[in-house]
């Protein structure tokens, strides 16, 4: 049902790379006008070049630079997006950061940095967009979470906790705005072949170990025998935004190849 998304408008955070960039490409391919939001202006312009943006107001992707940890900056960028591209139909909370390390020895600064983006940033953007959607009684929001939100991960306590908080926030928001015809869902990826994952692994051997499993850190392998592609996650996001999912809300769709055994 790709045609149902044509001429809609979406805001995607964390758009400059990884899953966020894949979501931007997927939505553009479905005829959506996309506001690509990230704090990395150089990477955003590279994304537009890769997608064939022509620099005018009719292109499928328009870039906006903003730091989602700043509530005022978020309000400004959402206002700018709607003034330039029109009312938002979709929001994808794709921005995320990862800091790894055991809790004993983990710094307060790293903890705060993870929550500032993964949880508070989701709150800032969702609040700003939902306020506008409520007035129009229309919209769909998807937050990119993690399978770590429901399954403990060694050395990932801050990330897991932040994603669990973001998931519950998104579902609670969905409960509040359902009466206005707005749907809120979560896509929870597992190990996905992105720069974020690469930063945790030791090259190809690390990828193989992730697929095989690492009992020393109590981590199962991936039953499907492969890492997810960013595109796999992006397609799940697009489905939950689309009219094909018009009766789905407060749902968490896990995209991890079976790594958490359906948890």
pLDDT along the chain (263 residues), means of 10: 79 96 96 96 92 58 97 98 98 97 98 98 98 98 98 96 98 98 98 83 78 91 96 98 98 97 90
Q: Which residues are catalytic?
A: 159
Tokens at 136, concatenated: 């129009």
Handedness of CA 228, 229, 233, 238 (dihedral sign): negative
Give the pLDDT score at 54: 42
User: What's the pTM?
Assistant: 0.94
| In the chain, domain spans | 2-190+230-252, 192-227
Give the pLDDT score at 55: 46
Cα–Cα distance, 158 to 122 (Å, whole number):
16
Cα–Cα distance, 170 to 240 (Å, whole number):
13
Q: CB count, 10 Å around CB of 261?
A: 10
| 230-241 helix and 18-29 helix, angle to the nearest 10 degrees | 50
> Topology of 2-190+230-252 in CATH?
Rossmann fold (3.40.50)
């Amino acid at each position: 049902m790709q045609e149902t998304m044509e001429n809609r408008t979406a805001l995607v955070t964390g758009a400059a790379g990884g899953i966020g960039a894949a979501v931007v490409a997927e939505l553009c391919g479905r005829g959506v006008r996309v506001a690509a939001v990230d704090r990395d202006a150089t990477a955003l312009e590279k994304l537009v070049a890769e997608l064939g943006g022509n620099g005018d107001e009719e292109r499928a992707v328009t870039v906006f630079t903003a730091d989602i940890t700043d509530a005022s900056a978020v309000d400004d960028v959402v206002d700018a997006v709607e003034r330039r591209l029109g009312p938002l139909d979709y929001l994808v909370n794709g921005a995320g950061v990862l800091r790894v390390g055991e809790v004993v020895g983990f710094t307060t600064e790293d903890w705060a940095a993870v929550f500032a983006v993964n949880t508070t940033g989701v709150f800032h953007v969702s609040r700003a967009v939902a306020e506008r959607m409520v007035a129009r009684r229309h919209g769909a929001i998807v937050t990119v979470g993690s399978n770590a939100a429901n399954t403990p991960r060694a050395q990932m306590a801050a990330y897991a906790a932040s994603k669990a908080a973001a998931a519950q926030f998104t579902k609670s928001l969905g409960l509040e705005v359902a009466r206005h015809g707005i749907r809120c869902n979560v896509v929870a990826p597992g190990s996905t072949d992105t720069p974020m994952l690469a930063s945790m692994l030791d090259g190809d051997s690390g990828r193989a170990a992730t697929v095989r499993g690492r009992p020393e850190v109590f981590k199962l392998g991936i039953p499907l025998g492969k890492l997810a592609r960013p595109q796999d996650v992006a397609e799940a996001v697009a489905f939950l935004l689309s009219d094909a999912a018009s009766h789905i809300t407060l749902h968490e769709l896990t995209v991890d190849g079976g790594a958490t055994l359906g948890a």
